[in-house]
């Protein structure tokens, strides 16, 4: 009791419309995307290594049955809303016939040198209603100009090809790798130039890296937020991508008073490796494992990007496909029956204040309240549930630092769970209870809390 009082005093109440860092329209759309696939594909698929050397002959790339529609069908069945592909990994091999490289699909035997993986995947994504994104490694172990000032212009030119030839991108991916090129030199990347080019050509593409600017790496490759705390704000001054990134715990939890809205994205592979290796066919994660990862990523306010590497035929392997379909069924089943939808919802006080917008099924509506008020949902009758899904109205910033969930019993309200931040969403599980009413009470917040949705489930 004393701790809760101290927390409440620590977070002084500010006006309902206090100014905090908030997502752009593109970032809000990105938050709603929630879960999508990553596809590591290229020469490494055929050489059975993770990081290529850039010396592999182009003919090694030859997917005999490439079927991007199959990728998209499985992605949809898994509940994913987009696909990001490694257009060029560190080996420098381009999955499209770039004019600025001689290490591309054009020089391979695949499709008699007339193929373009990005064309086939981007068109398949559009046919299946999926978003399309690309990863373009700045490191290039093949290009002869890597390690010179001219290479930055080469990179901008390849970036321009990707951003003008394949339709709208929802995400663009940078990692921090920066090794030596074929001349033994490392490159000084002109990320400012890269960012300006991307912002001009694809203003709605959210850029991923250690420091954003669109979204941040979560600090691990297990795909999880490691605690209940996840602030979508981050301070980037003095940090850079790669070796100079913020500390891992900061990337995982964000900064409480961060100046920039740079939310976390959790990356993990369905297999031990990121590229396809036949010897890992019996090491594919199970649907239950993916569900646990989902709850610790999407369920803690981050986005989840799950790597599914196509095999040497150019298809998702049967083992991966079975797991993805099973996970999709689990995901749909878990969230198909929101018992709070359209139910009576009100704020406690001297008189009840109805807040139907919190249970209307529309995450774009919301209601503000004070920390002294509990928000009650009346389910009309006693029924079992063991999870709540809460959303903040993030257009007004992220405010809530901690909250608790209670159920009404004969002897009054009983706490069943508490947690830290909410942000874009928080899925909080607890032992199954049977009750008619539940109450959400904010224990600490930066300013007057604004929720957009309360959902209740029995998983």
DSSP string computed for 402-422? EEEEEEEETTEEEEEEEES--
β-strands 367-368, 353-354 pairing: unpaired
Residue 13 domain flag: no
Flag whether pLDDT at 5 surpasses 80.
no
pTM score of the predicted model: 0.95
66 and 199 both lie in a single domain: yes
| pLDDT attached to residue 363 | 86
Q: Are 231 and 258 in contact (CB under 8 A)?
A: yes
> Tens of pLDDT along 148-160?
999 999 999 999 9
Domain closes at, from 297, 314, 334:
334
**Dihedrals phi, psi of 104, to nearest 5 degrees:** -140, 180
Nearest of 281, 280, 228, 222 to residue 253 by alpha carbon: 228
Mean pLDDT over residues 4-30, rounded?
Answer: 68
Helix 149-165 vs helix 191-201: angle between axes, to the nearest 10 degrees? 20
DSSP 8-state code for residue 284 = P
Domain closes at, from 304, 334, 364:
334
Q: Can you read off the two tokens belonging to residue 229? A: 């705390």
319 and 220 both lie in a single domain: yes
Mean pLDDT over residues 106-134, rounded?
Answer: 98
β-strands 353-354, 426-445 pairing: unpaired
| pLDDT attached to residue 16 | 54
> Tens of pLDDT along 168-205?
999 999 988 899 999 999 999 999 999 999 999 999 99
Q: Can you read off the two tokens belonging to residue 365? A: 């509506």
Q: How far is CA 352 from CA 37, 264, 376, in A?
A: 45, 37, 10
149 and 263 both lie in a single domain: yes
98 and 113 both lie in a single domain: yes
160 and 302 both lie in a single domain: yes
d(CA 440, CA 378): 12
d(CA 257, CA 264): 15
280-288 long-range contacts (CB < 8 A, ≥24 apart) are: 281/317, 281/319, 282/319, 284/317, 284/319, 284/320, 284/323, 285/323, 286/323, 286/326, 287/323, 287/326, 287/327, 287/329, 287/330, 288/330
292 and 389 both lie in a single domain: no
Residue 14 domain flag: no
* pLDDT above 90 as % of the chain: 89
Q: Are 271 and 285 in contact (CB under 8 A)?
A: yes
253 and 230 both lie in a single domain: yes
Residue 261 domain flag: yes
What's the CATH number where 322 sits?
Answer: 3.20.20.80
Domain closes at, from 334, 361, 387:
334
Mean pLDDT over residues 49-67, rounded?
Answer: 97
Mean pLDDT over residues 371-388, rounded?
Answer: 94
293 and 401 both lie in a single domain: no
Residue 43 domain flag: yes
Mean pLDDT over residues 386-400, rounded?
Answer: 96
Bond prior to 117 in cis (omega within 30° of 0): no
Cα angle 159-160-161, degrees, rounded to a multiple of 5: 90
Q: Can you read off the two tokens belonging to residue 220? A: 């691990």
Where do we find the tokens 């549930």? 385
Mean pLDDT over residues 98-114, rounded?
Answer: 98
In the chain, how many domains are there? Answer: 2
Residue 389 domain flag: yes
> Tens of pLDDT along 308-317?
999 999 999 9
> Tens of pLDDT along 406-459?
999 999 999 999 999 999 999 999 999 999 999 999 999 999 999 999 999 999
What's the CATH number where 394 sits?
Answer: 2.60.120.260
Residue-number span of the structural domain to which 124 is assigned: 25-334
């Amino acid at each position: 009791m004393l701790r809760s009082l101290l927390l409440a005093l620590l977070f002084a109440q500010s006006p309902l419309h206090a100014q905090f860092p908030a997502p752009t329209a593109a970032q809000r759309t990105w938050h709603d995307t929630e879960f999508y696939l990553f596809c590591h594909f290229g020469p490494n698929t055929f050489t059975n290594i993770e990081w290529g050397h850039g010396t592999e002959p182009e003919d090694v790339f030859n997917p005999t049955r490439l079927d991007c529609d199959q990728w998209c069908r499985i992605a949809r069945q898994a509940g994913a809303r987009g696909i990001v592909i490694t257009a060029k990994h560190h080996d420098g091999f381009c999955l499209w016939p770039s004019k600025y490289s001689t290490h591309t699909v054009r020089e391979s035997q695949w499709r008699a040198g007339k193929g373009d993986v990005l064309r086939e995947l981007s068109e398949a994504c559009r046919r299946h209603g999926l978003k399309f994104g690309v990863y373009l490694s700045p490191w290039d172990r093949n290009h002869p100009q890597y390690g010179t000032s001219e290479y930055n212009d080469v990179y901008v030119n390849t970036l321009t090809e990707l951003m003008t030839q394949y339709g709208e991108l929802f995400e663009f991916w940078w990692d921090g790798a920066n090794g030596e090129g074929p001349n033994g030199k490392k490159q000084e990347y002109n990320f400012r130039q890269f960012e300006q080019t991307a912002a001009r050509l694809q203003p709605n593409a959210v850029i991923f890296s250690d420091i954003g600017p669109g979204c941040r790496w979560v600090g691990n490759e297990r795909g999880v937020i490691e605690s209940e705390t996840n602030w979508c704000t981050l301070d980037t001054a003095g940090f850079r991508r790669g070796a100079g990134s913020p500390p891992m715990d900061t990337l995982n939890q964000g900064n409480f008073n961060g100046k920039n809205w740079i939310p976390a994205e959790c990356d993990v592979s369905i297999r031990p490796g990121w590229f396809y290796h036949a010897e890992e066919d019996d090491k594919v994660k199970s649907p239950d494992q993916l569900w646990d990862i989902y709850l610790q990523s999407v369920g803690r306010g981050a986005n989840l990007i799950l790597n599914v590497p196509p095999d040497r035929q150019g298809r998702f392997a049967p083992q991966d496909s079975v797991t993805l379909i099973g996970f999709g069924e689990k995901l749909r089943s878990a969230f198909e029956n929101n018992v709070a939808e359209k139910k009576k919802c009100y704020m406690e006080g001297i008189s009840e204040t109805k807040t139907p917008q919190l249970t209307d099924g529309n995450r774009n509506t919301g209601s503000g309240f004070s920390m002294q008020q509990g928000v009650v949902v009346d389910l009309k009758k006693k029924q079992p549930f063991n999870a709540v899904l809460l959303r903040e109205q993030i257009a007004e910033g992220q405010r809530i630092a901690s909250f608790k969930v209670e159920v009404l019993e004969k002897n009054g309200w009983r706490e069943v769970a508490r947690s830290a931040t909410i942000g874009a969403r928080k899925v909080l599980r607890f032992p199954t209870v049977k009750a008619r009413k539940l109450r959400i009470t904010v224990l600490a917040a930066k300013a007057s809390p604004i929720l957009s949705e309360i959902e209740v489930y029995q998983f």
